[in-house]
Amino acid sequence: METMKNPSHFLVVHPLDDVPEVKVDTEALGPMAMTRSVRLSLMSLRAYLVLMILLVVYHVVMLAR
């Protein structure tokens, strides 16, 4: 960024010394809209997690035998 008084000079500010930027207000947005692709992705994830749980149960059953 150029300084206003002298355009040939550049000011570099460390992010922690700079004025905090205004970011998107994520809390105001609320939950994500459940579009078809989002719903499909989350359903695939649920199926994957069920498979993982079944594998762990299988492992525990085999260990218990």
Partner 1 sequence: MTDKTIAMTAAGVETDVIPARGRVVKSKWMRDLLTFLMVFGPGLIVMVADNDAGAVSTYSQAGAQYGTHLLWIVLLLLPVTYFIQEMVVRLGIATGKGHAAMIYQRFGKWWGLFSLVDLELVNFLTLVTEFAAIHLALSKLGVDPRYGVPLAAAGLIFIVLSGSYRRWERSVVFLCLLDFAWFAIAGRVGPPFGQVVKHSLLPSMPAGGITPDLMFLVIAIVGTTIAPWQLFFQQSCIADKRLRFADLKWARLDTLLGAFITIAAAACMMIVGTASHAHGFRFTDPAQMAIDLGRFGGPFVRDGLLLLMINAAVLGTTAISLSSAWAYGEVRGWPHSLQFPVREAPGFYVLYLISVAAAAGIVMIPRAPLQLIILGVQVLAGVMLPSAIIFLQLLLNDKELLGEFANKPWNNWVNWTIIIVLFVLSVILAVQVTAPNLFPSAAGGPTT
Residues that bind partner 1 (CB under 8 A): 1-5, 8-21, 23-24, 26-27, 29-33, 37-38, 41-42, 44-45, 48-49, 51-52, 55-56, 58-59, 62
Provide the CA 12 distance to its chain's centre, in angstroms.
29
Q: Which is nearer to partner 1, 4 or 64 (CB)?
A: 4
Q: How far is the CB of 48 from partner 1 (least distance, A)?
A: 6
First to last CA, the chain: 69
> Residue 9: what are its φ and ψ, rounded to 5°?
-105, 145
Q: How far is the CB of 25 from partner 1 (least distance, A)?
A: 10
For residue 4, give the 3-state DSSP assignment: coil
